[in-house]
Amino acid sequence: MNLKMLIIGPPRSGTSMITRVLYYSGITVGGEFEGPNPYSKISVFEDIQLRAVVWSMRDALLADMHRREYRNTPERIAMLSRAVEAYSYEAFKLPNILHAWPTWKEAIPTETIIVLVHRDADLIVKSMKRVYKGRQGQDLLAFVRWCEERMDQIRSEMTHVIDVNYQDFLTGEGQEEVRRKFLEYFPDRPLDFNTLVRKVA
């Protein structure tokens, strides 16, 4: 197993941008990616094979999301553990990790690095309304707040956590601190975030 890092955040929080920057820094984030789709003009950099395993639980995930609870089961843990063990890349990004976190926590090593991407909640809601065009039937602000609560939970449960504020990262503020944290885990990578942000933004 090569998986060292999970990149997590609410939808439209900037996880794809952060993942692209890491990809161009030489960190492997998957093998095959989906191209542009109705929700993104560029690849969202989510490994298709591992994402398919997560989405095989789609009906249960959606039901659990709307109840704001998630039923962890040995079957889910076993399925995800096998998929993580077979994953041959260093990082994986998927917003749905937030919803299925109890299963992920059991399926990944305790030393896994967790990258939590956050952005102003009102900006996330505005982006979701623009991109999804009313397809989200739930209270979007309440959903984003739930995501933030789940991220707080992850911070309290995992040892290796890197917080990335998307707005600060784009403007350059806080980039050096984030770079320093990544270098602790990937000291041999050319993490020139300032140049890469201009390249991929």
Express each pLDDT in 128-165 by its tens digit.
Answer: 888 877 555 568 898 899 899 999 999 999 999 999 99
Q: Residue 69: pLDDT band by 50, 70, 90 thresholds?
A: low
pLDDT at position 55 is 82
- β-sheet bridge partners, residue 7: 93, 115
- CATH no. of 5-200: 3.40.50
Contacts of 181 (CB under 8 A, 6+ apart): 162
d(CA 28, CA 91): 6
Closest CA to 100 of 2, 6, 13, 30: 6
pLDDT at position 197 is 81
Residue pair 165/174 in contact (Cβ under 8 Å)? The answer is yes
* Greatest CA separation for the chain: 45
Residue pair 14/119 in contact (Cβ under 8 Å)? The answer is yes
Of the listed ranges 23-27, 30-34, 122-126, 131-135, the least confidently predicted one is 131-135
Every domain of the chain and the residues it spans: 5-200
CB atoms < 10 A from the CB of 104, how many?
Answer: 26
pLDDT tens figures, 84-126: 999 999 999 988 788 888 889 999 999 999 999 999 999 999 9
Q: How would you classify the pairing of strands 113-118 and 91-93?
A: unpaired
pLDDT at position 139 is 84
d(CA 151, CA 11): 13
Report which of residues 63 and 170 the model is more confident about.
Answer: 170
pLDDT tens figures, 43-63: 678 999 998 888 887 666 666
Angle (CA) 170 193 147, round 5°: 50
Three-state secondary-structure class, residue 132:
helix
pTM > 0.75: yes
pLDDT tens figures, 3-16: 999 999 998 999 99
pLDDT at position 104 is 92
d(CA 108, CA 77): 10
Closest CA to 70 of 135, 11, 153: 153
pLDDT at position 7 is 97
pLDDT at position 185 is 94
